[in-house]
Structure 1
Amino acid sequence: MKYLYSALVAVGLAMFAAPSIAADARNVTVVNETGYAIKFLGFNAPDDGLDEWDNELEKVLQNTASTYVEFDDDDDGCVWNIRVDWQDYNESVLWKNVNLCKFTALRLRYDHGTKTTSFVAE
């Protein structure tokens, strides 16, 4: 019994000493279901204005492909603007004030009838 107690105490201490591995609530998987390749995927805080963007893609995001976007500890808040630029078109899509803490995936979709791009949050 003495060894069982010691083992439980050791496991408990290890759990508190280990760094937290929980994912940031804003981290999100973006799935391209638009039918078009995406060359730019950017997130910025609403207070940053619409001129300050960083591309989260290392390469073009092809149709049906996905990418995982991780946020840094330096980033604040759940609400972000999202911008997408197409590979073969000089147009951007912008969604303002999206609360990333409410879901873990964004499925980007394009409606050919209305010619609009939208996302489905999961």
Structure 2
Amino acid sequence: MKKVLITLAAVGIFLISSVAMAGIQDFTLVNQTGWDFHFVYVSPDYSDNWGADRLGETEILYTGTSRYISINDGGDHCIWDLKIVDQDQDEFQYMGINFCQVSTVTINFENGAFVAYYN
């Protein structure tokens, strides 16, 4: 019985630490537009600087795929802006997203425009 309790305690600690490692503002970006995303930027709503491309130098978020985006700023700021640059260098901005409540952003192409859905 003592071994079972120790094992359960170890599993509980592992689960808590796994959740703690994921930032509260991290999210999954889903591309359902028909165009590939070559650059993805995320910045706090109060900033005028987009910072580094979240895809890195060589990654592309192809249409029909998704990618986990880690904000990982060590803080608890919730409101962020998102900028996407597609294969044609067209830019799309989505402002004031509450990433403390949103875990998935799905971008669709509807009626001639990129439209974001938040879950």
Give the TM-score band, short-chain normalised. 0.7 to 0.9
Given residue 91 of structure 2, which amino acid in structure 1 is its aligned partner?
A: S
CA distance in 2, matches of 1:17, 1:32: 35
1:30 aligns to 2:48 (yes or no): no
1:7 aligns to 2:6 (yes or no): no
Structure 1: runs of 5+ lacking an equivalent: none
CA drift of 1:16 comes to 7.0
CA drift of 1:118 comes to 1.4
Contact 1:60/1:87, CA 8 A, preserved across alignment: no
Query: Residue 108 of structure 1 aligns with which residue?
Result: 107
CA distance in 2, matches of 1:104, 1:87: 25
Match of residue 117, structure 2, among 98, 115, 120: 120
Q: Which structure has the larger Rg over C-alpha atoms? A: 1
Query: Residue 40 of structure 2 aligns with which residue?
Result: 41
CA distance in 1, matches of 2:44, 2:38: 20
The 5 A counterparts of 1:76-95 are 76-89=76-89, 91-95=90-94
| SS of structure 2 residue aligned to 1:84 | strand
Judged with a 3 Å threshold, the aligned counterparts in structure 2 of structure 1 residues 7 and 60 are, in CA distance, closer, same or farther, namely same
CA distance in 1, matches of 2:66, 2:51: 20
CA distance in 1, matches of 2:63, 2:9: 46
CA distance in 2, matches of 1:10, 1:31: 40
Aligned length: 114
Judged with a 3 Å threshold, the aligned counterparts in structure 2 of structure 1 residues 13 and 35 are, in CA distance, closer, same or farther, namely closer
With normalisation by structure 2, the TM-score equals 0.80
The 5 A counterparts of 1:45-64 are 45-49=44-48, 51-58=49-56, 59-64=59-64
With normalisation by structure 1, the TM-score equals 0.78
Contact 2:79/2:97, CA 8 A, preserved across alignment: yes
